């Protein structure tokens, strides 16, 4: 990877070091591009490891940019790493883009070295409870608070009431956005209905929609409804009536 093109290091300057044989003292001196850091890395052009970047990478990972930035950028092109990692990291201190490896492979999960803001903590907590099917009261669990506040007692943890309220607000906004997306969609929408009995013997049926968005398939769960009868006992004409009454 060309670290100079990514702009984590400034363009090198050419030098000749004394004490080396003539024509063998040429070297490139790289200076860290991060504001406030004047660290220089020297790479001699006459040595066997003239193309090695290990010293540069060591400084990037351990001093100024961190492992998260390096792991996110190492498999990207120079242009992609510069635009999606270095530029936002230098301006805001955060990596917010979703990175993908070359050849379309998903990149490893990376984490920012910058703590979440209060709003980000609330949003991530709602996302965690929704995706992992966690109760809102989990944020008041003694063990959870011990893990989050040990070493940083000032760290904000929302209450269960706050998580519940935020979840309802986010659900209402997402419902509006999804409705607009489906109404404005220029293409075919495929709706799917499935019935099943949950482990607690509740008869349920769900409504999903499939569509293509930005060249990739997308499946959305529109609703899950509890029915009075088991799926096997439903008559063919009852399902459309139930779907209409749920809207």
pLDDT per position as a tens digit, 131-159: 999 999 999 999 999 999 999 999 999 99
For 197, list phi and psi in degrees, rounded to 5. -110, 125
pLDDT per position as a tens digit, 184-194: 998 899 999 88
Give the separation between CA 16 and CA 43, rounded to whole angstroms. Answer: 11
pLDDT per position as a tens digit, 155-172: 999 999 999 999 999 999
Both tokens of 109, joined, read: 């999960």
24-43 b/e (C-beta count within 10 Å ≥ 16 → b): eeebbebebbbeeeeeebeb
Q: Is the pTM of this model over 0.85?
A: no
């Amino acid at each position: 990877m060309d670290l100079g093109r990514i702009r984590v290091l400034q363009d090198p300057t050419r030098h000749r070091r004394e004490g080396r044989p003539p024509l063998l003292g040429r070297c490139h001196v790289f200076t860290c591009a991060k504001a406030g850091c004047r660290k220089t890395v020297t790479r001699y052009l006459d040595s066997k490891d003239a193309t090695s970047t290990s010293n540069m990478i060591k400084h990037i990972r351990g001093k100024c940019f961190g492992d998260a930035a390096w792991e996110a950028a190492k498999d990207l092109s120079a242009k992609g790493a510069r635009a999606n990692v270095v530029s936002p990291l230098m301006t805001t201190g955060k990596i917010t883009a979703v990175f993908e490896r070359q050849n379309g492979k998903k990149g490893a999960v990376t984490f920012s070295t910058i703590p979440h803001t209060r709003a980000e903590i609330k949003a991530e907590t709602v996302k965690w409870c929704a995706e992992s099917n966690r109760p809102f009261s989990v944020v008041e669990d003694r063990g959870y608070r011990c893990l989050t506040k040990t070493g940083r007692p000032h760290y904000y943890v929302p209450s269960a009431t706050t998580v519940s309220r935020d979840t309802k607000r986010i659900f209402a906004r997402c419902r509006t956005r999804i409705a607009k997306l489906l109404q404005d969609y220029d293409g075919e929408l495929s709706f799917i209905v499935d019935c099943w009995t949950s482990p607690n013997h509740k008869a349920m049926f769900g409504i999903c929609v499939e569509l293509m968005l930005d060249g990739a398939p997308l499946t959305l769960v529109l609703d899950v409804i509890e029915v009075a009868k088991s799926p096997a006992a439903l008559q063919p004409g009852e399902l459309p009536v139930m779907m209409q009454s749920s809207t």
